[in-house]
């Protein structure tokens, strides 16, 4: 995985810098998400892996599949990736682009896992507290997992705050056995 990330990073950085310079971060984000979804398709992946298909043909087929989702800059980006045999890296390029975009925009995606669905007031209150702690704008996605018993697990990038009953019981058991 580290190898693929190393190969994808310069392309994501170049796309990000171009999008930032042209004030088109959202547009490039959408284009890369579409291209990543196309690259994940089994039929497209098979076409990309085929040695009998030229890079120019791969690029044109890819552009045709994406249709109007790609502007001229996006089409040129696809052609460059095809020439360098990197179209299969599009899902990772899109992911790295989104990470750079989140840093630029001072935002963070937070996943809240709870045993029961939170009401909007509780979710909003939690979002405000997380925004203060992380010093970024918070975008919340809620997930319900009845296995938690109670409490909440917060995931924001590498940060995990386990405030669930299960997590607290596990910490208690660990403290008692050590």
User: What confidence tens digit (pLDDT) does each residue in 4-39 have?
Assistant: 888 899 999 999 999 999 988 899 999 999 999 999
Number of domains in the chain: 2
Residues 82 and 118 in one domain: no
Residues 26 and 45 in one domain: yes
Residue where a domain terminates, one of 48, 74, 102 = 102
User: What confidence tens digit (pLDDT) does each residue in 98-153 have?
Assistant: 988 888 888 888 888 888 888 888 888 888 988 888 888 888 888 888 887 788 88
Rounded-to-10 torsion of CA 25, 156, 40, 34 = -20
Question: Does the pLDDT value for residue 160 go beyond 90?
Answer: no
Expressed as residue numbers, the domain containing 24 is 2-102
Residues 96 and 114 in one domain: no
Residue where a domain terminates, one of 56, 81, 102 = 102
Question: Does the pLDDT value for residue 1 go beyond 80?
Answer: no
Q: Which residue has the higher pLDDT, 164 or 125?
A: 125
- Mean local confidence (pLDDT), 46-52: 87
Residues 33 and 120 in one domain: no
Is pTM beyond 0.75 here? no
Q: 2 falls in which pLDDT band (50, 70, 90)?
A: low
Q: 90 falls in which pLDDT band (50, 70, 90)?
A: very high
Question: Does the pLDDT value for residue 158 go beyond 80?
Answer: no
């Amino acid at each position: 995985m580290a190898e693929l990330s190393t190969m994808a990073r310069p392309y994501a950085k170049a796309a990000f810098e171009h999008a930032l310079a042209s004030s088109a971060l959202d547009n490039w984000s959408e284009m890369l998400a579409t291209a990543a979804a196309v690259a994940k398709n089994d039929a497209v992946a098979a076409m990309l892996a085929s040695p009998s298909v030229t890079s120019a043909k791969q690029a044109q087929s890819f552009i045709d599949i994406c249709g109007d989702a790609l502007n001229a800059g996006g089409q040129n980006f696809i052609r460059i990736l095809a020439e360098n045999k990197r179209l299969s890296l599009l899902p990772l390029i899109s992911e790295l682009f989104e990470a750079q975009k989140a840093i630029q925009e001072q935002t963070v995606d937070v996943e809240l896992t709870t045993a029961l669905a939170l009401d909007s007031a509780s979710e909003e209150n939690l979002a405000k507290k997380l925004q203060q702690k992380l010093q970024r704008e918070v975008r919340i996605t809620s997930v319900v997992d009845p296995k938690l018993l109670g409490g909440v697990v917060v995931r924001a990038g590498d940060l995990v705050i386990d405030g669930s009953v299960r997590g607290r019981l596990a910490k208690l058991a660990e403290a008692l056995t050590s």
